[in-house]
Amino acid sequence: MGVFRRLSDLLKANVNDLIDRAEDPEKMVKQIIIDMQTELTKATQNYGKAKASERLAEKKYLDAQKISADWEAKAKAALAKGDQDLAKQALARKVKADEDVANYKEMYDSISSQTDAIGDQVEVLKAKLEEAKSRQAMLIARSQMADTQKSLAKAAGTFDPNSSFEKFQRMEDKVVRKEAEAAAFTEIAGDALGGGSGDELKDTFNQLASDAKVDAELQRLMAEMNGGAASNDAD
């Protein structure tokens, strides 16, 4: 039967190979689940039809047995009355009924055997479908992980650590230059505003030296002026 040939092909398919050839493994895995569910539905429907045929064949077989038994009972009744001709007629009908019994028995056994085989295939498909569903999430996760690893590998392959380090070094040198420029501008601005050197201790000693010179000049002038005053008094 075509449906079970397709089912067999589906069950024998190499899932890993399908994933390798698929553009989107996640969609492919989901589609496989959908296909298996569809096959299970069809197989279940066929199993139901087979069971119906089996019940019909069984009914005809049992009916033929009842007819045979009924004609045998009638033949016995005729013999009990001493009517052998009537008994023979009843037995002739029984022989025909026995042939029907044999034919229906053969038909019933054949259909029953096929129905059992279909039922077994349905159970196999159910088990495979449940297994596929349980593995679906894992396969999708593995596929996503493989994509991530592939992307990282490509990124690593195009990454030049030497070039990147040189760029980093240039940026560091630029920052150092900016810091030096900022310090220089700060020193210039300080001199322009305060006129000092920026070193308070040094400025203090410079001021002391300047004050000492002023004091010395003051003493000189006072001495000169006092000396001049003494000369005038003597005259």
pTM over 0.85: no
Structural domain spans, the chain:
2-159, 164-234
What is the per-residue pLDDT for 192? 54
Q: Count how many residues are written for the chain.
A: 235
Architecture of the domain defined by 2-159:
Orthogonal Bundle (1.10)
Residues of the chain predicted below pLDDT 50? none
Residue 31 one-letter amino acid = Q
What is the per-residue pLDDT for 218? 78
Tokens representing 177 are 């230059």
* 101-121 tens-digit pLDDT: 999 999 999 999 999 999 998
Burial class (CB in 10 A: 0-12, 13-18, 19+), 34: exposed
Residue 12 one-letter amino acid = K
Closest CA to 118 of 37, 11, 44: 44
What is the per-residue pLDDT for 152? 78
* 166-176 tens-digit pLDDT: 776 777 788 88
Separation of alpha carbons 88 and 106, rounded Å: 27
Check if the beta carbon of residue 39 is closer than 8 Å to that of residue 3.
yes
What is the per-residue pLDDT for 26? 74
Check if the beta carbon of residue 3 is closer than 8 Å to that of residue 43.
yes
Check if the beta carbon of residue 125 is closer than 8 Å to that of residue 7.
yes
